[in-house]
Amino acid sequence: MGMTHIVDRRLNGKNKSAVNRERFLRRYRHHIKKAVSEAVHRRSITDIERGENVSIPSRDIEEPVFHHGQGGKREMVHPGNQEFVAGDTLPKPQGGEGGQGQGQASPDGEGMDEFAFQITQEEFLDFLFDDLALPNLARKKLKDTEAFKYVRSGFSTQGIPSKLDVVRSLRGAHARRLSLGGARKRKLRELQEQLAALKSAPADLDAAFSHDDQIKALEEEVARLKANIRRIPWIDEIDLRYRQHVKQPQPATSAVMFCLMDVSGSMTQTHKDIAKRFFILLYLFLKKNYKKIDVVFIRHHTSAKEVDEEEFFYSRETGGTIVSSALKLMHKIIESRYSPEEWNIYAAQASDGDNWNDDSPVCGKILADQILPLVQYYAYVEITPQDHQMLWYEYEKILATNPNTFAMQQIADAGAIYPVFRQLFERKAA
Amino acid sequence: MTGTLDNPAEKKIVEPVSTGSEWTFELIQRYDDEIAKCAAEFGLDTYPNQVEVISAEQMMDAYSSVGMPVGYHHWSFGKQFLNTSKGYQRGQMGLAYEIVINSNPCIAYLMEENTLPMQALVIAHACYGHNSFFKSNYLFRTWTDASAIIDYLVFARNYVAECEERYGVDAVEQILDSCHALMNYGVDRYKRPSPISAAEEQRRQKDREAYLQQQLNDLWRTIPKMGNDDEQTRRQERYPPEPQENLLYFIEKNAPLLETWQREIIRIVRKLAQYFYPQRQTQVMNEGWATFWHYTLLHRMYEKGLVTDGFMLEFLQSHTAVVYQPPFNSPWYSGINPYTLGFSMFTDLRRICEAPTDEDKEWFPDIAGSNWVETLHFAMRNFKDESFILQFLSPKVMRDLKLFAIADDDNEEVYRITAIHDEMGYRSLREKLARQYNLSYREPNLQVWHVDLRGDRSLTLRHIPVDGIPMGDSSNEVLRHVNRLWGFDVHLESVEGDTVVEEFHCPPRPMDGDASGTRG
């Protein structure tokens, strides 16, 4: 007795299985990547706040051991006999499947063959971006935001009428009136009492001793005091108090993200999938910095159109390409809905580099003159393994003159998305 | 009621240990003290206990590593963990109330969510039931070393981690996968193994390497003798001279190409297989024993007035759930519940000792009317499930559980009821049930048959089918693992009499008519 030792282990770490779990995910990364890929296809780019359900065919994760097969002769003992006696026979079920108590299939005949589990958002993102751990994007500020917020910081004697604090000003005036007028009023009361006393006293017969002179002098004094008191202003300039505010730099909490994409015939679904991942990354990045994010999708071929996400990624178009149409539309949308004072504007443009040659200089001009002054950052990704075309060279000129707000990179395949994203956004790292 | 004296012997008025259902460390300690006193009354001999209170998450961790407090890393444990946590989060599955480890001191986990009566139940069940079983049952005494296991597990984990660092996670994972596939064939069933010790393992690693290399060199002397090396003599000088049932041991010692670290990993898995081997053969006895004692010890507490009626009510509710046996035709049926069978048998054994009927005297002349505590201890110490059932399953238990046997012969169109719980059937039913717990009946009987030392170095395993039951569909898959470890061609043949009835090969042989899948 007394040989028992009781230990509280609850504070010891849980997650002892974390490594084994990680090993499991590692082993089945191909399955998981596939599930993640499908999920990306299915999900909206703003829907990245959760993990994903993954299922793997059970046979793929089985740990095989030697065991008995079907057939032969076997005997099993079971409990709960009701009416059997030795020698009874029972028909075998059709299909030849084994003995009693075996193979309870799920009602729909499915689901038993799948090993299903959940991966976390973090793991989801890891798999999404090719196993590369996402750095802490929050620490990287693109550019100091220029919005400010005024916060109260006491009162001041100077200010504009709209900041006047009436209650506080009147209280000050009252105090001033009291302090300035108080002594005089007391004096006035005394004089008036004396005056009243003199007036009510019986008049002396001797004129030489009459009170008239005294009364007259007192009356003059009273009149003077009254005028004095009357001259104390009811409210004076020095009574006025204004609410004081100081400017505190405040990151604007709203951002708008423009996704521009070429949907002309030359952009394949693979191109679009790469673009989608890029847009997701940008969204994730902004999400860490801003409370509210609007996403505007502009797709274009020869003309541009603002569309919803579904149409943006999955509808097909044919024909040529005029990139400037999208830039013009973007500018129009900014002017009408997203004032740069209130919104942090980001834009990502994805294209295979194809453009109608005469249009490329127009693009450069619109970007440099109209759009770049309004946006925090504009990133251009060219999804092509091939040589560049006119648009690329035009954009290179812009890069030279606007290195802080403009960035461009080429993505050859899905594996390069993340590194390219990092290059694009690292440059501005604080 | 006043005036009633249930137990005049106990004069002083006893207060229950507790009345509420919230536990505290002090109360757990007090319950343990009282349970220990009761256990001592019945002569339960235990290792010291180490009770660890853990959270549900930690219980899931413990689950996924087969209850081992430390273990090497492997994806299969991660899979187990995902499965457990999924089931738990969806509420499909409660966690077991306890996990207990065959170690000295005996480690038992209590989940913090348990109520106080549950904690007491678990202490009685694990810390006195299982613990005394671990300490006294002959299989555990022979095959496991409770005082060394924790150190050995630490050694194993560190060694595997070191290999991962040195040779890469993938290489280690491959070896472990293959070893796990053969884990059930990593035990000498008849030879007593040498005790395990982490320090010893470490010290001997070097020696073993040198010695083993020497042996391997002797075995694999590759220069063939010229002349009389014809097919006939090659067949005759069989290696191994006797068939070997411990596949992992044989591979560890004889595989030509394995690196030393790979052999060490095989050895680690083998040692763990050996440690778990008794548990696989004593499930009915071990759970039955622990259940019998939590039931008996807590009733003893109740007799002493140490627990309240409310406590007993909650305790009995849990106990009833544990020993529930769904009938064969219930949707919840998944075989015979070892808790039910074991508990029924130990309970009935006590009855046979204390109040034997004529039937008992006929069936169990040696124990009917004997001292029940001694008889139960004797049974616990000297048997495993198979022999325990063969020896002690009474007609009454067969009747109570309404056992019956059903035969499934693939040559017949129907199932046949071969025995039920009646005078005609008792003996045969008992034999059939005992056989069901015989490991070599539950798993295919496989042995290392032959190594072609002078030829292509291929390894041949032989399967001796029982009752014409063939190898299962995973055999090719497992054979690939054998092939990976062995390094050369591997064959598996099922032999009935002198006839090869089925063959498997890795790498697979080109299909040429007579190769595989032909059954007689």
Q: How far apart are the first and last CA of chain B?
A: 76
Q: Kindly determine whether residue B184 and residue A66, on different chains, have CB atoms separated by under 8 Å.
A: yes
Summarize pLDDT for B449-473 with one digit per residue, the tens.
Answer: 999 988 899 999 999 998 999 999 9
Q: Given this model, what pLDDT does residue A271 score?
A: 83
3-class secondary-structure state, position B57: helix
Q: Kindly determine whether residue A72 and residue B467, on different chains, have CB atoms separated by under 8 Å.
A: yes
CB B337 within 8 A of CB B324: yes
CATH of the domain at A375: 3.40.50.410
Please count the structural domains in chain A.
3
Residue A337, Cβ neighbours under 10 Å: how many? 11
How many angstroms separate the CA atoms of B187 and B277, rounded?
A: 7
Q: Given this model, what pLDDT does residue A105 score?
A: 37
Residue A106 reports pLDDT greater than 50 = no
- A36 and A169 in a single domain? The answer is no
CB A274 within 8 A of CB A383: yes
DSSP B11-31: -SPPPPS-SSS---HHHHHHH
pLDDT band at B158 (very low <50, low <70, confident <90, very high): very high
pLDDT band at B121 (very low <50, low <70, confident <90, very high): very high
Best to test chain B binding among A4, A29, A73, A123 (most B CBs inside 10 Å): A4
Distance of residue B39 Cα from the nearest chain A Cα, in angstroms: 10
Q: Given this model, what pLDDT does residue B353 score?
A: 97
Instruction: Tell me the average pLDDT of chain B.
Output: 87
Q: Kindly determine whether residue B402 and residue A66, on different chains, have CB atoms separated by under 8 Å.
A: no
Q: Kindly determine whether residue B336 and residue A81, on different chains, have CB atoms separated by under 8 Å.
A: no
Q: Residue A62, CB half-sphere, CA atoms under 13 Å: how many?
A: 15
Residues 6+ apart with CB under 8 A from A348: A257, A258, A259, A260, A278, A279, A282, A378, A379, A380, A381
More confident residue, A213 or A255: A255
Q: What are phi and psi of A249, to 5 degrees?
A: -60, 135
Q: Which residues of chain A make contact with B326, given a CB cutoff of 8 A?
A: 80
- Residue A46 lies inside a defined structural domain of this protein: yes
Q: Kindly determine whether residue A85 and residue B420, on different chains, have CB atoms separated by under 8 Å.
A: yes
- Of A27-31, B225-229, B381-385, B474-478, where does mean pLDDT reach its minimum? B225-229
Residue A192 sits at the vertex; the CA angle it makes with A186 and A195, to the nearest 5 degrees, is 145
CB A52 within 8 A of CB A39: yes
- Residue A70 lies inside a defined structural domain of this protein: no
Q: Kindly determine whether residue A6 and residue B53, on different chains, have CB atoms separated by under 8 Å.
A: yes
Longest dimension (CA), chain B: 102
Residues 6+ apart with CB under 8 A from B93: B84, B87
Residue B482 reports pLDDT greater than 90 = yes
Identify which of B79, B114, B108 has the alpha carbon closest to the alpha carbon of residue B94. Answer: B114
Amino acid identity at B438: N
Instruction: Tell me the average pLDDT of chain A.
Output: 79
Q: Which residues of chain A make contact with B46, given a CB cutoff of 8 A?
A: 3
Amino acid identity at A318: T
Q: Kindly determine whether residue A79 and residue B336, on different chains, have CB atoms separated by under 8 Å.
A: yes
Please say which residue of A245, A267, A285 terminates a domain: A245
Q: Given this model, what pLDDT does residue A14 score?
A: 67
CA distances from A385 to A317, A352, A410, A412, B76 (A): 22, 9, 8, 5, 41
Residue A41 reports pLDDT greater than 90 = no
Q: Given this model, what pLDDT does residue A251 score?
A: 56
Q: Kindly determine whether residue A5 and residue B50, on different chains, have CB atoms separated by under 8 Å.
A: yes
- A270 and A414 in a single domain? The answer is yes
Q: Given this model, what pLDDT does residue A108 score?
A: 36
Tokens of A411: 């993505």
More confident residue, B445 or A204: B445
Burial category of B291 from C-beta neighbours within 10 Å (exposed 0-12, middle 13-18, buried 19 and up): buried
- Residue A86 lies inside a defined structural domain of this protein: no
- Residue A121 lies inside a defined structural domain of this protein: yes
How many angstroms separate the CA atoms of B109 and B115, rounded?
A: 14
The residue of chain A nearest to residue B65, with distances taken between CA atoms, is A17
Burial category of B236 from C-beta neighbours within 10 Å (exposed 0-12, middle 13-18, buried 19 and up): exposed
- A287 and A334 in a single domain? The answer is yes
The residue count for chain A: 430
- A388 and A422 in a single domain? The answer is yes
Q: Kindly determine whether residue B420 and residue A117, on different chains, have CB atoms separated by under 8 Å.
A: no
Residue B134 reports pLDDT greater than 70 = yes
How many angstroms separate the CA atoms of A29 and A156, rounded?
A: 65
Q: Which residues of chain A make contact with B416, given a CB cutoff of 8 A?
A: 87-90
**CB contact residues (below 8 A), chain B span 89-108, against chain A:** 105
Distance of residue B215 Cα from the nearest chain A Cα, in angstroms: 29
Summarize pLDDT for A304-323 with one digit per residue, the tens.
Answer: 889 888 888 887 777 778 88
Tokens of A95: 């299909």
Summarize pLDDT for B408-438 with one digit per residue, the tens.
Answer: 998 899 999 999 999 999 999 999 999 999 9
Distance of residue A57 Cα from the nearest chain B Cα, in angstroms: 13
Please list the residues that pair with A256 across neighbouring strands.
A294, A345
- State whether residue B515 sits within 8 Å of chain A by CB: no
- A241 and A343 in a single domain? The answer is no
- Using DSSP bridges, classify how beta strands B459-463 and B490-496 pair: parallel, antiparallel or unpaired: parallel
What percent of chain A has a predicted confidence (pLDDT) above 70?
82
Distance of residue B227 Cα from the nearest chain A Cα, in angstroms: 41
Distance of residue B210 Cα from the nearest chain A Cα, in angstroms: 32
Q: What are phi and psi of A316, to 5 degrees?
A: -110, 145
DSSP code, position B244: B
- Tell me the mean pLDDT in the region A87-116: 59
- Residue A7 lies inside a defined structural domain of this protein: no
Best to test chain B binding among A3, A6, A66, A76 (most B CBs inside 10 Å): A66
Please tell me which of the candidates A8, A19, A72 has its beta carbon nearest to residue B470: A72
Q: Given this model, what pLDDT does residue B459 score?
A: 96
- Tell me the mean pLDDT in the region A344-356: 87
- A192 and A268 in a single domain? The answer is no
Residue B153 reports pLDDT greater than 70 = yes
Please tell me which of the candidates A12, A65, A85 has its beta carbon nearest to residue B181: A65
Amino acid identity at A412: A
Residues 6+ apart with CB under 8 A from B333: A78, A80, A101, B326, B327
DSSP code, position B47: P
Identify which of B63, B70, B27, B18 has the alpha carbon closest to the alpha carbon of residue A6. Answer: B27
Q: Given this model, what pLDDT does residue A224 score?
A: 86
CA distances from B38 to B8, B13, B181, B285, B483 (A): 19, 18, 44, 21, 55
Distance of residue B77 Cα from the nearest chain A Cα, in angstroms: 6
Q: Given this model, what pLDDT does residue A99 score?
A: 42
CA distances from B286 to A60, A401, B63 (A): 34, 81, 19
Q: Given this model, what pLDDT does residue B4 score?
A: 40
CA distances from A48 to A52, A282, B79 (A): 10, 12, 25
**CA B377, chain centre distance (Å):** 20
CA distances from B494 to A219, B463, B471, B502 (A): 140, 4, 8, 5
- Residue A106 lies inside a defined structural domain of this protein: no
Site of tokens 């521009």:
A260
Please say which residue of A245, A280, A311 terminates a domain: A245
How many angstroms separate the CA atoms of B82 and A21, rounded?
A: 7
Tokens of A417: 């998305």
Q: Which residues of chain B make contact with A98, given a CB cutoff of 8 A?
A: 408
How many angstroms separate the CA atoms of A267 and A260, rounded?
A: 13
- State whether residue A94 sits within 8 Å of chain B by CB: no
Site of tokens 């001797």:
A206
Range A127-138 burial, b when 16+ CB lie within 10 A, else e: bbbeeeebeebe
Amino acid identity at B245: E
Range B472-504 burial, b when 16+ CB lie within 10 A, else e: bebbebbbbbbbbbbeebbbbbbeeeeeebbbb
Q: Given this model, what pLDDT does residue B235 score?
A: 53
For A316-353, give the secondary structure using H, E and C.
CCCCCCCHHHHHHHHHHHHHHHCCCCCCEEEEEEEECC
More confident residue, A395 or A138: A395
The residue of chain B nearest to residue A93, with distances taken between CA atoms, is B414
CB A118 within 8 A of CB B87: no
Tokens of B371: 């001292």
Q: Which residues of chain A make contact with B76, given a CB cutoff of 8 A?
A: 20, 24, 63
- A230 and A339 in a single domain? The answer is no
- A275 and A301 in a single domain? The answer is yes
Q: Kindly determine whether residue A68 and residue B173, on different chains, have CB atoms separated by under 8 Å.
A: no
**CA A7, chain centre distance (Å):** 45
Q: Given this model, what pLDDT does residue B191 score?
A: 66
Q: Given this model, what pLDDT does residue A208 score?
A: 60
- A229 and A120 in a single domain? The answer is no
Amino acid identity at B110: L
Q: Given this model, what pLDDT does residue A425 score?
A: 65
- A210 and A260 in a single domain? The answer is no
Q: Given this model, what pLDDT does residue A301 score?
A: 85
- The interaxial angle of helices B309-322 and B283-303, nearest 10 deg, is 170
Q: Which residues of chain A make contact with B60, given a CB cutoff of 8 A?
A: 17
- Residue A90 lies inside a defined structural domain of this protein: no
Best to test chain A binding among B23, B79, B446, B448 (most A CBs inside 10 Å): B79
Burial category of B456 from C-beta neighbours within 10 Å (exposed 0-12, middle 13-18, buried 19 and up): exposed
The residue of chain B nearest to residue A79, with distances taken between CA atoms, is B403
The residue of chain A nearest to residue B63, with distances taken between CA atoms, is A17
Tokens of A87: 């020698």
**CB contact residues (below 8 A), chain A span 157-186, against chain B:** none
- State whether residue B411 sits within 8 Å of chain A by CB: yes
Q: Which residues of chain A make contact with B420, given a CB cutoff of 8 A?
A: 81, 84-86
- A280 and A187 in a single domain? The answer is no
Residues 6+ apart with CB under 8 A from A81: B328, B402, B403, B404, B420, B421
- State whether residue B117 sits within 8 Å of chain A by CB: no
pLDDT band at A172 (very low <50, low <70, confident <90, very high): confident
The residue of chain B nearest to residue A21, with distances taken between CA atoms, is B78
More confident residue, A263 or B262: B262
- State whether residue B72 sits within 8 Å of chain A by CB: no
The residue of chain B nearest to residue A74, with distances taken between CA atoms, is B408
CB A320 within 8 A of CB A347: no
- Tell me the mean pLDDT in the region B176-186: 95
Distance of residue A330 Cα from the nearest chain B Cα, in angstroms: 47
**Structural domain range at position A416:** 253-426
Please tell me which of the candidates A9, A66, A84 has its beta carbon nearest to residue B54: A9
Please say which residue of A245, A266, A282 terminates a domain: A245
**CB contact residues (below 8 A), chain A span 317-346, against chain B:** none
Q: Kindly determine whether residue B82 and residue A3, on different chains, have CB atoms separated by under 8 Å.
A: no
Q: Given this model, what pLDDT does residue B165 score?
A: 94
How many angstroms separate the CA atoms of A275 and B445, rounded?
A: 58
- A269 and A416 in a single domain? The answer is yes
Sequence-ordered alpha helix ranges (H) in A239-318:
269-287, 309-314
Count helices and strands (H / E) in chain B. 22, 9
Q: What is the value of ipTM here, to two decimals? A: 0.87
Tokens of B139: 């299989």
3-class secondary-structure state, position A218: helix
How many angstroms separate the CA atoms of A404 and A375, rounded?
A: 11
Summarize pLDDT for A225-246 with one digit per residue, the tens.
Answer: 888 888 888 888 888 888 888 7
Amino acid identity at A322: I
CB B465 within 8 A of CB A72: yes
Burial category of A6 from C-beta neighbours within 10 Å (exposed 0-12, middle 13-18, buried 19 and up): middle
- Residue A407 lies inside a defined structural domain of this protein: yes
CB A4 within 8 A of CB B48: yes
